[in-house]
Amino acid sequence: MKVLLDTMSGDAPPEEIIKGAVRALRETRDANLKITLVGKEELNREEVKKLEAQDLLSRISYLHAPNTISMEDTPTKAVRSNPDSSLVKGVTALKDESEIFISSGNTGAVVAAALFNLGRIQGVSRPGLAGVIPTVRSGNVVLIDIGATTDADPLNLAQFGIMGNAFAKNILSKSDPKVGLLNIGEERSKGNKLTKKTVSLIERTDLKYIGNVEPHLLITEPPADVVICEGFVGNILLKAFEGGVEGTIGFFKEALTSNLRSKLGGLILRPTLKELKEQLSYAQFGAVPLLGVRGVVFVAHGRSEARAIKNAILKAREASRWDLPGKIETEMERIDFND
């Protein structure tokens, strides 16, 4: 099982990404896990040396990619004009489903590179990124799409439902997942043109569709296992949720210094607070799979540092057993919207 890791495209420097890779190798006993560092080979070799990872050398290899695609680049243009970038070279090098590509780079560019070099699964109109969101009590919820397809049409959304359902069923082991549509109200009359047109399409599938889901319920008491949305909206939701968490913890920390009583309480609760922050941090979840393309591609948060990369690798590792592209293809063949 091989992970191709893009060391150059994230906000964090290569040394931080490579630190995550080395930690992942140390943490798992599975000697079959191998990592190929995709980026400037000499620089990457240098960083591995610095980390004193001699014992792991048989599990680390290098794929030289001298160029970088930046967060500022326009995705399609950058991918077409920069075949020697770590992002494009990594995707292109994927051989089969035992190999996984992970990048914390420009999401649009990862999507464009995957579409361009791997292609879509038969029947899929647009790929979707499946985010897994922690909830207070009832486990996880799959939110799809969180940024691969910023402008979606109703067919795209209905297919996100099918792909998200396959993911929840096969990977998160949810039997008979409930599927909902992200919306600004629970009533059927609520929403924008896109959500209103999507409903009739979803209702033509055999998904266990439960109707609209409001964003705050997603995190507190989600009525569905899979929630569908347009990529732009899903990405905004996720970042607003992050802001809500960070904001609350920030307010709380301020409050903890307001008087002696609070200071005492804060001191006692320091470990709990730290744990809380960990549990709700994006770094915990590592990376999210890009569903709908012919290969296993994970996108990590742009801000990912060593811990997030380590978690991304360990999670992506499981994905090689999933055959998710195969499972999505089977589902897509079963449901035909042109009926």
At a CB cut-off of 8 Å and minimum separation 6, what does 328 contact?
A: 121, 124, 162, 163, 166, 291, 292
Looking at the Cβ atoms of 42 and 187, the one nearer to a second copy is: 187
- Decide: is 188 part of the binding site for a second copy (CB under 8 A): yes
Q: Which residues contact 315 (CB under 8 A, 6 or more apart)?
A: 285, 286, 287, 298
Which part of the chain contacts a second copy (CB under 8 A), choosing from 132-140, 201-209, 284-292, 306-314? 132-140
Question: Do you find a cis peptide bond into 84, omega within 30 degrees of 0?
Answer: no
Does position 238 interact with a second copy (CB under 8 A)? The reply is: yes
Interface positions, 35-64, toward a second copy (CB under 8 A): none
Where do the H-state alpha helices sit in 28-150? 41-50, 75-81, 86-93, 107-117
Q: Taking CB under 8 A as the rule, does residue 150 contact a second copy?
A: yes
Binds a second copy (CB under 8 A): choice among 81, 122, 138, 192 = 192
- Binding status of residue 74 toward a second copy by CB under 8 A: yes
Q: Does 215 bind a second copy (CB under 8 A)?
A: yes
Q: Where are the alpha helices (H) located in 139-213, listed in sequence order?
A: 154-170, 193-202
Closest approach, Cβ 254 to a second copy, in A, equals 7
At its nearest, how many Å lie between a second copy and the CB of residue 32? 36
Binding segment (CB under 8 A) for a second copy, from list 14-22, 97-105, 218-226, 285-293 = 218-226
CA dist., res. 161 & res. 155, Å (int): 10
Question: How many Cβ atoms sit within 10 Å of the Cβ of residue 260?
Answer: 7
Q: How far is the CB of 43 from a second copy (least distance, A)?
A: 25
Strands, sheet with 128-134, edge to edge from the N-terminal-most edge strand: 60-64, 34-39, 2-6, 99-103, 296-300, 287-291, 128-134, 140-144, 226-228, 178-182, 208-213
- Write out the binding residues for a second copy, residues 291-330 only, by CB under 8 A: none
Q: Rule CB under 8 A: is residue 193 a binding residue for a second copy?
A: yes
Give the separation between CA 246 and CA 156, rounded to whole angstroms. 32
Report the residue from 244, 318, 330, 336 that binds a second copy according to the rule CB under 8 A.
244
Please select the residue that binds a second copy; options are 242, 281, 323, 337, rule is CB under 8 A. Answer: 242
Q: How many amino acids of this chain bind a second copy (CB under 8 A)?
A: 67
**Residue among 235, 304, 311, 320 that touches a second copy (CB under 8 A):** 235
| Residue 73 interacts with a second copy (CB under 8 A): yes or no | yes
Contact 194, 329 (CB under 8 A): no
Q: Does 219 bind a second copy (CB under 8 A)?
A: yes
Strands 99-103 and 178-182: unpaired
H/E element holding 280? helix 260-280
Cα–Cα distances (Å) from 306 to 74, 180, 284, 296, in that order, read 27, 34, 11, 21
Residues 289, 101 contacting (CB under 8 angstroms): no
Part of the chain binding a second copy (CB under 8 A), chosen from 31-39, 81-89, 157-165, 191-199: 191-199
Listed residue (220, 189, 165) closest to 332, CA to CA: 165
Candidate residues 241, 300, 315, 316; the one interacting with a second copy per rule CB under 8 A: 241
Interface ranges with a second copy (CB under 8 A): 71-75, 108, 135-137, 147, 150-151, 182, 184-185, 187-193, 214-220, 231-233, 235-252, 254-256, 258, 261-262, 264-266, 268-269, 271-272, 275-276, 279-280
